[in-house]
């Protein structure tokens, strides 16, 4: 749940269940939802994003335990130096968490132009991160370290690729939040931005965890 | 009935054939789509098992679909693999949860649809795609995989070299499964959100029907378990196509060919990942059936469920403990014997909530006024089958006994009785119970009873003898009994089982006939033919597109108010306002 | 067959269902009691322990099975709709508590009781002085190796494996330790002698299973797993593969020959002689 409860939430929330319609669209008009779908309480969206994160956590936890088991198994785990660009990429991603927060708060205040600017920064930083990961892979490949070279490299490529894939999904979500017509939706753009931000912060946190795992476990 | 407006005019009925029946956002249509996917899959899966049974008894018989006439061992094993995979995933994980749950969860809690209708539609179509990919394994070079639904490496990881079907067929299987994982995760998310956030006024957690509790807990299990299977599938896929060695150790030689390009992996790692998913999966398969059984037993005994809270606690305990017992599939796998001991104790413990549920089902019947509608017959059959199937688990939960019984037909008997029969009876009970609501017509009771008797007697005839095959030491997944001498005296048992299977499977055509005939020509159903209490029985049969025609009811009482002293009717619907409840004088 | 009066249940249905359940219960009990298809006799003291635990479990589950099924049958018959009013009770906390406790005690107790046999099989290693036999599974045969008089195992190499030319384990001819290693497609052990088996596989997972020993252990690629047994009854017993390993899984069968010490020594001697003649 975002800590900054805004006026939007109070206007829209129709109370406990009861099928109360959730008027969406622009912040101010509180009018008719053109979505064609039955209204649901807004908190359902927050529930959903949290559940999605639970599912993703289980997925990465399975991979993490596999990592630990595989590492502990044999003597064929060869440590290799992680590409230096990963540190830069981590900073980029951390910065993007900051920019997304800034953007989100602007959106809640109604400062649409500022929101769009900072939202775009975030997407750009996200794309930069993914590009940076590609650089890291190229770096390793040029040293002859590939997916199947060694179990430690297998996990490196696998974990970073899966994270990058999920993050790319996040970038697509950012675009969706920016470009979709929210008048026809059951939620406002503010709420959508909140949900995307939750996911984004989680991806950041997940990266820090994976990076630590790969670094300490290399 | 007090209702509140859902906000007029915002929720529009879909128009056009595609929007109404193909890419529908309506949870009821999606539920029926899942139901039909499962229906197709169960008949397909049964046909595979029929071919297996026929081959076991007449090994030289010429079979359809086997070029060259006689079935080969690898064809038999491909049937074994696909039968298991299709039944577990496309039948038992879809019909009870995604099928009936999708249709009835929103209605039973007073919602107009699932929280995320678009996501719901995507979940179904993703499941559909996964079925197509899975089935494509039959059609690719080498045919379907032969490693069983459990796909243990290194057999499943080394590729074609370990056997026919282990090439492209196994790859398609893994991909199909991975797609199914994604679909299930999306579905689970929708179910949980809907149950937590979309309940109508007065529908507290303590007033939810046990079916809803079952769907909720099942969805939680799914959310937690399918991500693990997805991870395992990705690792297996990489071992197969990208040269990694997650599951493949070094020093292997397959048919005189050294495998030099893999080393250091562990086949046990797959087993841990697979069964960490696999055990919750079997509870996913049975919990909705338990919910339906409680619901139907109560309804047709005209009595409240005995121990509603204990039932909820038991299902929750089963769900939770289900994550703590996976090692009981691995007692002889080479896993640490100390962890085997721990898993064994946890497994014996999980028998306790199951036993509680059984006592409570009997308690629900006790003192009742039992009406033997077909839905009730299947619910009663469920109880009997659950007892039988569950008790054999007590043997298998002990590693010392598992030393003998592991991978024998005793295990096959156990899981078929629980999953292949009890869970199916849950589906049948749900079908006969909810058909009037879904299709606006009654199924034929007489034909239904004939179906029940053939099936109930038939499944016991098929699966009880398998216990004895297991006690005699008959290993599983044998395509032929001619390779081992001690199997010779068991031929008569195999023969009996096959005969029973042929009759029972054929009898399912009776059900199929009843289902389709009644859809078009059954007697028209009233709103509440079973005098039931839950919200789905307060709306027309079939329901309008938004379930409550804009007037969502509030709930005033629990879901099993039957034969309440002081009331004229022997049931009080959940949505009836207190003033309207007729009192006896 | 069935009365059309919606108010009253069907005595026929109730009676048929109850009758079937009762009959089915008794048929089941009969076949378990009659042991028509059953375990072969155990050939070791360990096996007898397993059998005892099995019986304990059978009695307990049998009693529960009979009570539950008959209880169901009785309830179905006794409380069929005959126009009565159903009793209204929503539960009974005391009963819940009692049967939950009873179930926990029985199930967990049963489990704990059986752990002793498991501990003997797995927590303890083989007794000292055990005969070592290496058991190797492959698609689709078992091979058994004895270290021979020198007591040392010869080196094996994957690239030397050639079942077609009589070297299924890939013994390295250059290793002197391997010269006296006896490799046999069937297993011989002396009766009354502790035997330690080292179970391995060349390709996929198999499982070494001898019914009469009440012993089963998966052969896992990349692992060598130790088990032990002491067979006391002379005879020939089948070894079957108990883990799906490919198309030949059903015919991956060998024999365990439990023979007298004398016969075992003779067999070993004959094997050694054959080796020397190669």
- pLDDT 10s digits, C248-272: 999 999 999 999 999 999 999 999 9
Comparing CB atoms, the residue among C31, C240, C247 nearest residue B73 is C247
Q: Do B11 and A36 touch (CB under 8 A)?
A: yes
pLDDT for C1? 41
d(CA C139, CA C153): 23
pLDDT for B331? 96
Strands C131-138 and B551-553: unpaired
d(CA B361, CA B373): 17
User: Do residues C186 and C261 share a domain?
Assistant: yes
The percent of residues in chain B predicted with pLDDT above 70, rounded, is 98
pLDDT for B139? 95
Q: Supply the angle between the helices B210-241 and A151-179 in degrees, to the nearest 10.
A: 130
Query: Do B221 and B283 touch, CB atoms closer than 8 A?
Result: yes
Q: What is the DSSP string of C119-134?
A: IIIIIS-PPTTPEEEE
pLDDT for A33? 57
Closest CA to B427 of B106, B38, B16, B11: B38
Question: Greatest CA span in chain B, whole angstroms?
Answer: 88
Query: Do B216 and B568 touch, CB atoms closer than 8 A?
Result: no
Query: Do B321 and B287 touch, CB atoms closer than 8 A?
Result: no
Query: Do A96 and A90 touch, CB atoms closer than 8 A?
Result: no
Residue ranges in A74-188 assigned as alpha helix (H): 85-109, 112-142, 151-179
Comparing CB atoms, the residue among B116, B190, B269 nearest residue A70 is B269
Query: Do C259 and C236 touch, CB atoms closer than 8 A?
Result: no
Query: Do B432 and B448 touch, CB atoms closer than 8 A?
Result: yes
Contact with chain A for residue B203, Cβ under 8 A: yes
d(CA B101, CA B106): 8
User: Do residues C32 and C110 share a domain?
Assistant: yes
Distance in Å, alpha carbon of B91 to nearest chain A alpha carbon: 23
First and final C-alpha spacing in chain C = 81
Please check whether residue C217 lies inside any domain of the structure. Answer: yes
- Let me know the angle formed at the C-alpha of A211 by A209 and A216, rounded to the nearest 5 degrees: 95
**What's chain B's average pLDDT?**
95
Query: Which tokens go with B385?
Result: 């089958």
Q: Which has more pLDDT, B220 or B568?
A: B220
Distance in Å, alpha carbon of C272 to nearest chain B alpha carbon: 25
Average pLDDT for A56-85: 92
Q: Where in chain B is the domain with CATH 1.20.210.10?
A: 34-265
pLDDT at A29 over 70: no
Confidence of residue C107 (pLDDT cuts 50, 70, 90): very high
pLDDT at A7 over 70: no
Chain B residue whose CA is closest to A66: B269
Chain B residue whose CA is closest to A37: B11
d(CA B393, CA C257): 33
pLDDT at A31 over 80: no
Average pLDDT for B326-350: 95
Q: pLDDT tens digit string along B130-188? A: 999 999 999 999 999 999 999 999 999 999 999 999 999 999 999 999 999 999 999 99
Confidence of residue B4 (pLDDT cuts 50, 70, 90): low
Q: Do B365 and C209 touch (CB under 8 A)?
A: no
Tell me phi and psi for residue B200, to 5 degrees. -75, 175
Tell me phi and psi for residue C215, to 5 degrees. -130, 135
Tell me how far CA of residue C262 lies from CA of A186, B90, C191, in angstroms: 87, 59, 10
Q: How many CA atoms, within 13 angstroms, populate the side-chain half-sphere of residue B471?
A: 22
Closest CA to B108 of B291, B381, B313: B291
Query: Using CA atoms in the order B369, B372, B374, B375, what is the torsion angle rounded to 10 degrees?
Result: 10
> Could you tell me the residue range of the domain that residue C103 belongs to?
11-80+93-123
Query: Do B266 and B248 touch, CB atoms closer than 8 A?
Result: no
Q: pLDDT tens digit string along A131-187? A: 999 999 999 999 999 999 999 999 999 999 999 999 999 999 999 999 999 988 999
Q: pLDDT tens digit string along B78-129? A: 999 999 999 999 999 999 999 999 999 999 999 999 999 999 999 999 999 9
Chain C residue whose CA is closest to B71: C247
- Let me know the angle formed at the C-alpha of B86 by B80 and B88, rounded to the nearest 5 degrees: 95
User: Which chains share 3+ C-beta pairs under 8 angstroms with B?
Assistant: A, C
pLDDT for B10? 58
pLDDT for C4? 47
pLDDT for B582? 83
Average pLDDT for B192-214: 97
Q: Do B471 and C95 touch (CB under 8 A)?
A: no
Distance in Å, alpha carbon of B123 to nearest chain A alpha carbon: 14
pLDDT for B457? 98
Residue-range domain boundaries for chain A: 7-217
Q: Do A66 and B197 touch (CB under 8 A)?
A: no
Query: Which tokens go with C148?
Result: 């021979």
User: Which chains share 3+ C-beta pairs under 8 angstroms with C?
Assistant: B
Q: pLDDT tens digit string along B278-316? A: 999 999 999 999 999 999 999 999 999 999 999 999 999
Window from A135-149, B393-407, B512-526, C118-132 with minimum mean pLDDT: C118-132
Residue B490 CB coordination number (10 Å):
18
pLDDT for C3? 42
In the beta sheet, which residues pair with residue B252?
Answer: B259
User: Do residues C200 and C256 share a domain?
Assistant: yes
**pTM exceeding the 0.90 threshold for the entire prediction:** yes
Query: Do B415 and B84 touch, CB atoms closer than 8 A?
Result: no
Please check whether residue C168 lies inside any domain of the structure. Answer: yes
Query: Do A82 and A137 touch, CB atoms closer than 8 A?
Result: no
pLDDT for C278? 75
Tell me how far CA of residue B383 lies from CA of A213, B375, B445, C65, in angstroms: 48, 13, 21, 12
User: Do residues C271 and C136 share a domain?
Assistant: yes
Contacts of A69 in chain B (CB under 8 A): 266, 269, 272
CATH of the domain at C208: 2.60.40.420
Query: Do B462 and B500 touch, CB atoms closer than 8 A?
Result: yes
Q: Select from 3.40.47.10, 3.30.565.10, 1.20.120.80, 1.10.40.30 the CATH code of A7-217.
A: 1.20.120.80
Contact with chain C for residue B57, Cβ under 8 A: no
pLDDT for B281? 98
d(CA C267, CA C278): 17
What is the radius of gyration, based on Cα positions, of chain A? 20
Contact with chain B for residue C34, Cβ under 8 A: no
d(CA A118, CA A196): 14
Q: Which of C22, C209, C249 to mutate to test the interface with B (most CBs of B within 10 A)?
A: C249
User: Do residues C193 and C112 share a domain?
Assistant: no
The ipTM estimated for the assembled molecules is 0.95
Tell me phi and psi for residue C210, to 5 degrees. -125, 115
Q: Which residues of A touch chain B, with CB atoms under 8 Å apart?
A: 16-21, 32-33, 35-41, 43-44, 47-48, 51-52, 54-63, 66, 69-70, 73-74, 76-77, 147-148, 151, 154, 158, 162
User: Do residues C257 and C194 share a domain?
Assistant: yes
pLDDT for B499? 98
Window from A11-25, B267-281, B458-472, B484-498 with minimum mean pLDDT: A11-25
Query: Do B404 and C39 touch, CB atoms closer than 8 A?
Result: yes
Contacts of B234 in chain A (CB under 8 A): 158, 162
Average pLDDT for B340-353: 95
User: Do residues C54 and C135 share a domain?
Assistant: no
Please check whether residue C215 lies inside any domain of the structure. Answer: yes
Residue A131 CB coordination number (10 Å):
14
pLDDT for A80? 87
Closest CA to C210 of C243, C254, C249: C254
Comparing CB atoms, the residue among C50, C71, C104 nearest residue B362 is C71
Closest CA to A159 of A147, A169, A168: A147
Window from B2-11, B310-319, B358-367 with minimum mean pLDDT: B2-11
pLDDT for C9? 54
Chain C residue whose CA is closest to B369: C81
Q: Do B192 and A43 touch (CB under 8 A)?
A: no
Please check whether residue C85 lies inside any domain of the structure. Answer: no
pLDDT at B66 over 80: no
Q: Which has more pLDDT, C124 or B108?
A: B108
In the beta sheet, which residues pair with residue A197?
Answer: none
Contacts of A61 in chain B (CB under 8 A): 227-228
Q: Do C57 and B486 touch (CB under 8 A)?
A: no
Which residues does B277 contact at the CB level (< 8 Å), separation at least 6?
Answer: B225, B226, B228, B229, B232
pLDDT for B581? 86
Matching residue, tokens 């529009």: B12
Average pLDDT for C187-214: 97
Domain B34-265 bears CATH identifier 1.20.210.10: yes
Please check whether residue C28 lies inside any domain of the structure. Answer: yes
Number of structural domains found in chain C: 2
pLDDT at A12 over 80: no
Comparing CB atoms, the residue among B227, B244, B273 nearest residue A154 is B244
Query: Do C271 and C201 touch, CB atoms closer than 8 A?
Result: no
Chain C residue whose CA is closest to B76: C247
Closest CA to A157 of A172, A146, A173: A146
Contacts of C165 in chain B (CB under 8 A): none
Residue C210 DSSP SS3: strand
The percent of residues in chain B predicted with pLDDT above 90, rounded, is 93
Residue A31 burial by Cβ neighbours in a 10 Å radius (0-12, 13-18, 19+): exposed
- Let me know the angle formed at the C-alpha of B60 by B54 and B65, rounded to the nearest 5 degrees: 65
Contact with chain B for residue C244, Cβ under 8 A: yes
User: Do residues C262 and C191 share a domain?
Assistant: yes
Confidence of residue A36 (pLDDT cuts 50, 70, 90): confident
Tell me how many residue pairs between chain A and chain B have CB atoms under 8 A apart.
Answer: 157
């Amino acid at each position: 749940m975002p800590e900054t409860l805004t006026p939007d939430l109070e206007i829209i929330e129709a109370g406990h269940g009861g099928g109360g319609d959730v008027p969406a669209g622009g912040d101010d008009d509180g009018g008719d939802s053109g979505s064609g779908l039955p209204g649901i309480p807004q908190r359902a969206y927050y529930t959903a994003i949290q559940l999605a994160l639970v599912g993703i956590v289980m997925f990465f936890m399975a991979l993490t335990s596999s990592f630990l088991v595989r590492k502990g198994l044999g003597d064929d785990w060869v440590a290799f130096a992680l590409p230096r660009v990963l540190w830069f990429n981590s900073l980029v991603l951390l910065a993007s968490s900051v920019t997304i927060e800034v953007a989100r708060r602007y959106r809640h205040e109604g400062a649409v132009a500022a929101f769009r600017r900072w939202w775009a920064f975030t997407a750009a930083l996200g794309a930069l991160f993914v590009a940076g990961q590609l650089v890291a892979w190229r770096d390793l490949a040029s040293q002859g370290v590939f997916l199947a070279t060694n179990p430690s490299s297998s996990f490196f490529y696998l974990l970073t690729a899966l994270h990058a894939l999920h993050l790319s999904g996040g970038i697509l979500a950012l675009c969706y939040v920016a470009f979709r017509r929210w008048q026809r939706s059951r939620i406002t753009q503010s709420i959508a931005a909140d949900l995307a931000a939750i996911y984004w912060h989680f991806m950041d946190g997940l990266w820090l965890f994976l990076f630590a795992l790969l670094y300490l476990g290399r | 009935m007090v209702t509140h407006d859902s906000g007029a005019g915002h929720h529009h009925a879909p128009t056009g054939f595609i929007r109404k029946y193909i890419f529908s956002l309506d949870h009821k249509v999606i539920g029926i789509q899942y139901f039909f996917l499962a229906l197709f899959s169960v008949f397909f899966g049964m046909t595979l098992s029929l071919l297996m049974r026929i081959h076991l008894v007449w090994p030289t018989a010429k079979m359809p679909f086997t070029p060259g006439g006689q079935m080969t061992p690898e064809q038999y094993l491909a049937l074994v693999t696909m039968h298991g995979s299709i039944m577990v995933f496309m039948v038992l994980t879809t019909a009870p949860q995604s099928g009936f749950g999708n249709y009835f969860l929103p209605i039973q809690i007073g919602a107009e649809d699932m929280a995320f209708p678009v996501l719901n539609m995507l979940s179904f179509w993703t499941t559909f795609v996964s079925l197509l990919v899975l089935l494509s394994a039959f059609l690719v070079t080498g045919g379907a995989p032969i490693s069983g639904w459990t796909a243990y490496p290194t057999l499943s990881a080394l590729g074609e070299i370990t056997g026919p079907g282990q090439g492209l067929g196994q790859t398609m299987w893994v991909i199909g499964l991975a797609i199914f994982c994604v679909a299930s995760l999306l579905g689970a998310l929708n179910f949980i959100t809907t149950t937590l956030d979309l309940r109508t006024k007065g529908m507290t957690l303590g007033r939810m029907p046990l079916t809803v509790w079952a769907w909720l807990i099942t969805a939680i299990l799914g959310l937690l378990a399918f991500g693990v299977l997805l991870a395992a599938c990705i690792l297996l896929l990489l071992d197969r196509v990208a040269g990694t060695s997650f599951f493949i150790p070094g020093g292997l030689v397959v048919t005189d060919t050294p495998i030099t390009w893999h080393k250091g992996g562990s086949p046990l790692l797959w087993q841990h990942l697979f069964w960490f998913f696999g055990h919750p999966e079997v509870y996913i398969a049975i919990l909705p059936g338990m919910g339906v059984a409680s619901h139907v037993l109560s309804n047709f005994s005209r009595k409240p469920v005995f121990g509603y809270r204990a039932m909820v606690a038991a299902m929750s305990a089963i769900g939770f403990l289900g994550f703590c017992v996976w090692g009981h599939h691995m007692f002889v796998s080479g896993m640490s014997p100390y962890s085997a001991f721990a898993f064994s104790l946890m497994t014996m413990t999980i028998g306790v909530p199951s036993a509680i549920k059984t006592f409570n089902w009997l308690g629900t019947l006790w003192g009742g006024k039992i009406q033997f509608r077909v839905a009730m017959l299947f619910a009663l059959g469920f109880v009997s089958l659950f007892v039988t199937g569950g008790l054999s688990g007590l043997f298998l939960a002990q590693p010392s006994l598992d030393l003998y019984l592991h991978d024998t037909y005793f295990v096959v008997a156990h899981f078929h009785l629980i999953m292949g029969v009890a869970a199916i009876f849950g589906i049948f009970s749900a079908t006969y119970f909810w058909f009037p609501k879904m299709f606006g017509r009654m199924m034929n009771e007489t034909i239904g009873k004939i179906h029940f008797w053939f099936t109930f007697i038939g499944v016991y005839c098929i699966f009880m003898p398998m216990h004895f095959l297991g006690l005699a030491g008959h290993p599983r997944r044998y395509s032929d009994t001619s390779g081992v001498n001690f199997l010779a005296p068991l031929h008569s048992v195999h023969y009996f089982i096959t005969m029973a299977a042929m009759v029972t499977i054929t009898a399912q055509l009776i059900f199929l006939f009843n289902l389709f005939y009644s859809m078009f020509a059954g007697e028209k159903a009233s709103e509440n033919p079973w005098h039931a209490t839950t919200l789905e029985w307060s709306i027309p049969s079939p329901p309008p597109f938004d379930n409550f025609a804009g007037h969502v009811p509030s709930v005033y009482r629990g879901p099993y108010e039957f034969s309440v002293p002081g009331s004229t009717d022997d049931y009080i619907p959940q949505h009836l306002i207190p003033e309207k409840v007729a009192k006896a004088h | 067959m069935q009365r059309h009066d919606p108010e009253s249940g069907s005595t026929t249905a109730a009676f048929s269902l109850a009758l079937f359940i009762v009959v089915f219960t008794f048929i089941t009990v009969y076949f378990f009691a009659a042991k028509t298809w059953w375990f072969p006799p155990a050939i070791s003291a360990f096996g007898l322990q397993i059998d005892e635990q099995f019986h304990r479990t059978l009695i307990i589950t049998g009693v529960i099975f009979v009570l539950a099924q008959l209880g169901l049958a009785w309830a179905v018959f006794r409380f069929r709709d005959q126009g009565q009013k159903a009793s209204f009770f929503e539960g009974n906390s005391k009963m819940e508590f009692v049967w939950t406790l009873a179930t926990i005690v029985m199930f967990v107790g049963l489990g704990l009781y059986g752990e002793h046999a498991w501990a003997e099989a797995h927590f303890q290693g083989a007794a000292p002085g055990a005969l070592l036999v290496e058991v190797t599974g492959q698609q689709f045969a078992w091979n058994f190796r004895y270290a021979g008089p020198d007591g040392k195992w010869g080196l094996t190499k994957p690239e030397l494996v050639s079942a077609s030319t009589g070297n299924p384990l890939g013994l390295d001819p250059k290793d002197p330790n391997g010269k006296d290693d006896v490799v046999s497609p069937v297993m011989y052990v002396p009766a009354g002698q502790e035997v330690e088996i080292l179970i391995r596989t060349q390709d996929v997972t198999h499982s070494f299973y001898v019914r009469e020993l009440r012993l089963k252990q998966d052969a896992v690629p990349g692992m060598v797993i130790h088990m032990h047994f002491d067979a006391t009854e002379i005879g020939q017993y089948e070894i079957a593969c108990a883990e799906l390993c490919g198309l030949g899984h059903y015919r991956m069968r060998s024999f365990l020959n439990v023979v007298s010490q004398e016969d075992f020594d003779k067999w070993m001697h004959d094997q050694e002689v054959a080796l020397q003649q190669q």
